A and B are shown apart, each in its own frame.
Chain A
Amino acid sequence: MSKKELLKIEDLSIYYITEDGTVKAVNGIDIKLNKGETLGLVGETGAGKTTTALGIMRLIPNPPGKIMSGKIEFEGKDLLNIPEEEMRMIRGNKISMIFQDPMTSLNPVMTVGEQIAEVIEIHQDLNKQEAMKKAEEMLELVGIPAARVNDYPHQFSGGMKQRVVIAISLACNPQLLIADEPTTALDVTIQAQVLDLMNNLKEEFNTAMILITHDLGVVSEVCDKVAIMYAGEIVEAASLKQLFENPRHPYTLGLFGSIPNLDEEVDRLKPITGLMPDPTNLPTGCKFHPRCPYGTDICAKQEPKAIEIEDGHKVKCLIYEGLVDAEVKR
């Protein structure tokens, strides 16, 4: 493992085993993340983004969830092979998570100060008073006056609650921050404030980040690298520049075609036909083939491998294995 490498996920598969069938939420994904880097994990509902995040945190509810295979190496340690005790020391300390909904991820009967101090007390050798002092500093850091440390969550607006959540997640100066749709519940002007804040903090503390989102616009504002997920697989992984200038997987192109572009006038959007597949009954071969405009017979039979088409740009599609004759264009 190189010095800079912080997180290395190999062949991770996570299933939910239910009475109605096995939900194959994550199917053999690989992720590499260096210190201070930000990865955007993009996909639609049910693509397996949140399950991946919970997997890294070892927070998959078991049962029904189960990590079937794979390795999650963090600072050279395999997180899947350490005792729960040790994992607890990492969670909230070295790896922390911002959950999607700031309205429900705060405890309504604790003041925001107590909630920030809680994580500091657990992970750092500080007493209650010192922890509260640090909590005040954290509030200031995310742009909330320290005087509000004794207020309850309901006294804050949505954007401010999300800042409190960010303050909690950054309180122990984590190496890795996982942000699950951190701005989805917010208005655009507030979203702009929160993204700005995250960008600043990232630079200041050199925190690596996995940003989970469905919004390619947000990705272009914050990320260095992007991984596009579909039906539990990473179908395309590239640097930000490569992905936006040279997207190659038909699904990635479909996503771009679905978003109305502010700079261009188009008469009609070009949506992806069909629906997300049922995760208990995924298609054979390439999981995108029933919706793919380039799909052929072989796509239903053979599962594509990840092919590196340029340095650091991997695509999982049979076109790039030379098995389907098509040119993917915008």
Chain B
Amino acid sequence: MADKILEVKNLKKYFKTPKGMLHAVDGVNFSIERGKTLGVVGESGCGKSTTGRVVLRLLEATDGDIIFEGKNIRMFDKRQLRQLRREMQIIFQDPFASLNPRMTVSEIIAEPLIIHGLTKNKKELDKRVSELMEIVGLADRLVNAYPHELDGGRRQRIGIARTLSLNPKFIVCDEPVSALDVSIQAQVLNLMQDLQEELGLTYMFITHDLSVVKHFSDEIAVMYLGQLVEKAPASELFKNPVHPYTKALLSAIPVPSLKNKKERIILKGEITSPINPEPGCRFAKRCPHADKCTNANSQPVLENIGNEHYVACHMVNKLM
């Protein structure tokens, strides 16, 4: 049996809105193996960031189990949770908004160490901070710089150093490179890859960028309106996408090459509202095969079609 660091069962997160319950995450199941990367992709509003936050208990789940290293962390009290924060961390999307503008680089990186009392004295603290800065490739001279003096790539490195300061085992990366220019994006992705190898980190990598996710992940989960519609090893998913939404999504990626131009599948129809959604398949209104589907009023579930490839679609046998 594989060594699962995290297992999520039937996870739900609903938000109360004036118009009714918004089903942001609606019955999601997945697990991540230690030292591996699960990529979570989907378009804005599909619930991928909410899933990441609920897993870390930055948001409280409405229902479901979150099992981290064999313990259901949904039951953890405040004291246990604080301990847990050392093990599970997050890298935020926006390196401009997630750093306190009034703190220097070293103060930002040192803060978690101080809060958790991980260093004995100032000297040790300074040493650890400069160690972390070296790990993420920030020059020593920037110790006393403020975030506004630095560009996006360097700011994201500060965020990564802060995340690593507690020696976490599991990191949720919420669109860590989306705000960066391509040449800088590649630098940060390479850094994250090196850190994973050196420190044995497990990542949950949330992004809307499909080329990045393929490059970076071992396994990919595709989300649509709060649910997983397909999950497979990265290369398998790109080679053999089955769910009609995944197919449309992959075909929509503009590929920087003149060869292998794919026929784009353009989705039509309105997106189903996530507020008090009707029971049944959430994708039915935009699905190109909906007219042939006799079962659209019931909810499809993830089924294994072999090779660790899971698809949630009534038409799965006909589409393969």
Q: Report the separation of the CA atoms of residues A299 and B11 in the bound assembly, to the nearest whole angstrom.
A: 57
B236-278: CB near A (< 8 Å → 1, else 0) gives 0010000000001101111111101000101100010000000
Q: A188 and B249 in contact (CB under 8 A), knowing A265-B235, A269-B215?
A: yes
Which residues of A sit under 8 angstroms from B183, Cβ to Cβ?
44, 254-255, 258, 271-272
Using Cβ atoms and an 8 Å threshold, which residues of chain B touch A218?
A: 254
Complex-state Cα separation, A68 to B288, whole angstroms? 54
The answer to whether A44 touches B182 (Cβ under 8 A) is yes
In the bound complex, residues from chain B placing their C-beta under 8 Å from that of A257 are 186
Chain A's closest residue to B41 (CB) is: A188
B215 touches A214 (CB 8 A): no
Over the window 249-286 of chain A, the binary record of Cβ atoms lying under 8 Å from chain B Cβ atoms (1 yes, 0 no) is 00000111111111101101111110110000000000
Q: How many A-B residue pairs have CB under 8 A?
A: 113
Kindly specify which of B54-62, B78-86, B121-129, B206-214 makes contact with the partner chain.
B206-214
A158 to B45, CA, bound (A): 12
Indicate if the CB atoms of B254 and A261 lie closer than 8 Å.
no
| Chain B residue contacts of A216, Cβ below 8 A | 256
State whether B186 touches A269 (Cβ < 8 A). yes
A221 touches B254 (CB 8 A): yes
Query: Are B258 and A244 in touch, CB under 8 angstroms?
Result: yes
Instruction: State whether the Cβ of A128 lies closer than 8 Å to any Cβ in chain B.
Output: no
Q: Enumerate chain B residues within 8 angstroms of A240, measured Cβ to Cβ.
A: 258
Which of A45, A245, A260 is the one whose CB lies under 8 Å from B212? A260
**Chain B residue, CB-CB nearest to A269:** B186
Does B184 sit within 8 A of A, measured CB to CB? yes
Given contacts A193-B266, A275-B151, contact A188 B186 (CB under 8 A): no
Count of chain B residues with Cβ under 8 Å from any Cβ of A?
38
**Other-chain contact of B208, A188, A269, A272 (Cβ < 8 Å):** A188
A80 within 8 A of B: no
> In the complex the two chains form, what is the Cα distance from A80 to B193 in whole Å?
50
Cβ < 8 Å to B, chain A residues 116-150: none
Interface size on A, residues (CB 8 A): 45
* Binary contact track B185-223/A, C-beta < 8 Å → 1, others 0: 111011001000000000000001011101110000000
> Which residue of chain B has the shortest Cβ distance to A188 in the bound complex?
B252
CB-CB under 8 A from B253, the residues of chain A are 188, 217, 262
A215 within 8 A of B: yes
Report the minimum CB–CB distance from A298 to chain B (whole Å): 24
B184 neighbours in A (Cβ, 8 Å) = 44, 271, 275
* Chain B, range 261-300, C-beta contacts under 8 Å to A: 264, 266-267, 271
The answer to whether B254 and A217 touch across the interface, beta carbons within 8 angstroms, is yes
CB distance from A76 to the nearest CB of B (A): 34
Name B44's closest neighbour in chain A (CB-CB): A187
Cα A191 to Cα B254 in complex, Å, equals 9
| A-side contacts of B186, CB under 8 Å | 257-259, 269-272
Does the CB pair B153–A275 fall under 8 Å? yes
Q: B181 on the interface (CB 8 Å rule)?
A: yes
Query: How many angstroms from the CA of A261 to the CA of B267 in the assembled complex?
Result: 24
CB-CB contacts below 8 Å: A88-135 with B:
none
Give the one of B185, B248, B257 with max A CB within 10 A: B257
Query: Which interface residue of A190, A196, A266, A271 has the most chain B CB atoms within 10 A?
Result: A271
Residues on A with beta carbons closer than 8 Å to the beta carbon of B266: 189, 192-193, 196
Cα distance, A244 to B257, chains bound together (Å):
6
Contact indicator A214/B182 (Cβ below 8 Å)? yes
User: Is B181's CB under 8 angstroms from A220's CB?
Assistant: no
Asked if A241 CB lies within 8 Å of chain B CBs, one says: yes
B252 with A189: CB separation less than 8 A: yes
Q: Is A195 an interface residue (CB 8 A)?
A: yes
- Do B255 and A189 touch across chains, with their CB atoms under 8 A apart? no
A255: chain B residues within 8 A (beta carbon): 182-183
CB distance from B212 to the nearest CB of A (A): 6
Q: Is A165 an interface residue (CB 8 A)?
A: no
User: Would you give 28 A-B contacts (Cβ < 8 Å), ordered by A?
Assistant: A44-B184, A157-B271, A188-B253, A189-B252, A191-B252, A192-B254, A214-B181, A217-B211, A217-B254, A220-B258, A241-B258, A244-B258, A254-B183, A259-B182, A260-B189, A260-B216, A261-B211, A261-B257, A262-B211, A262-B255, A269-B190, A269-B215, A271-B183, A271-B185, A271-B186, A275-B151, A276-B151, A276-B181
* Additional A-B contact list (4), CB under 8 Å, known A158-B44, A254-B183, A259-B186: A190-B43, A192-B264, A193-B267, A265-B235
Top 4 A-B pairs, shortest CB-CB distance: A217-B254, A271-B186, A260-B215, A216-B256
